[in-house]
Amino acid sequence: QVQLKESGPGLVQPSETLSLTCTVSGFSLTSYSVSWVRQPSGKGPEWMGRMWYDGDTAYNSALKSRLSISRDTSKNQVFLKMNSLQTDDTGTYYCTRVATGLDYWGQGVMVTVSS
Amino acid sequence: DIVLTQAPLSVSVTPGESASISCRSSKSLLSSKGITSLYWYLQKPGKSPQLLIYRMSNLASGVPDRFSGSGSETDFTLKISKVETEDVGVYYCAQFLEYPLTFGSGTKLEIK
């Protein structure tokens, strides 16, 4: 069955870089796109960017200067890197499969930006 | 960016009754291909969002037919008939017409 799982550090220092990994199973990264979505506690989701099935990328312009999404199809993994983290980057980060909408979501990883 | 405005902020419903949630878009979500790119999600407490409705009125796989979506190009409604206790959570509308994809601020459904 389709599964996505995020992994990465739970605590990041201000001004440092966040690195997250999304490991997928049950589908191919060369057939489906994957998006990253984050959600501050108590607020609505925010779309961050997308890794297309053909390797192209799209980013939220609000984050584009700090964000990079890449992948390793041999390992079924999609990566997120975001630099210059600040406290308002704290929240839960999800990876999602893109089909008719964002149809499958990972469990999410909570990231706290704090010194 | 397309702004989605949801109402009400919260709704309290007796089990077995119906509930409706509104979502208004700042721009038409009807694409040139005739598809209305409005989606509904439910985020149960402590869980990831789950897809309920895609392209305004299509039920996602495994979703009970108590849920239904309707609307026009800019005004949309999610209706839940015969609400059950398992329906509690926050409901979000989302648009996938153009980047960046955007979400509404959410409507919290509680059981009386």
Average the pLDDT over A1-20 and give the result: 96
pLDDT 10s digits, B8-62 = 999 999 999 999 999 999 999 999 999 999 999 999 999 999 999 999 999 999 9
pLDDT 10s digits, B50-76 = 999 999 999 999 999 999 999 999 999
Q: Which of A42, A45, A32 is nearest to A93 (CA)?
A: A45
Q: Which of B54, B99, B102 is opposite residue A101, by nearest beta carbon?
A: B54
**Is the Cβ pair A60, B99 closer than 8 Å?**
yes
Q: Does B88 touch chain A (CB under 8 A)?
A: no
Residue A89, both tokens: 């980057």
Give the Cα separation of B67 and A78 in Å (integer): 33
Instruction: State the sign of the Cα–Cα–Cα–Cα dihedral B43, B112, B25, B28.
Output: positive
**β-bridge partners, A35:** A50, A96
Average the pLDDT over A27-56 and give the result: 97
For the purposes of burial, counting CB atoms within 10 Å of the CB of B92, is it exposed (0-12), middle (13-18) or buried (19 or more)?
buried
Mean pLDDT of chain A: 97
User: Are residues B39 and B93 in contact, defined by beta-carbon separation less than 8 angstroms?
Assistant: yes
pLDDT 10s digits, B84-106 = 999 999 999 999 999 999 999 99
Mean pLDDT of chain B: 97
User: Chain B residue closest to A58 (CA)?
Assistant: B99
Q: Where are the alpha helices (DSSP H) in B1-112?
A: none
Average the pLDDT over A25-53 and give the result: 97
Which of B1, B51, B98 is the best residue to mutate to test the A interface, defined by the most A CB atoms within 10 Å of its own CB? Answer: B51
Q: Which of B39, B48, B54 is opposite residue A106, by nearest beta carbon?
A: B48
User: Are residues A69 and A97 in contact, defined by beta-carbon separation less than 8 angstroms?
Assistant: no
Statement: residue A100 has pLDDT above 90 = no
Q: Which of B49, B54, B92 is opposite residue A100, by nearest beta carbon?
A: B54
Average the pLDDT over A56-82 and give the result: 97
| B4-7 vs A67-72, strand pairing mode | unpaired
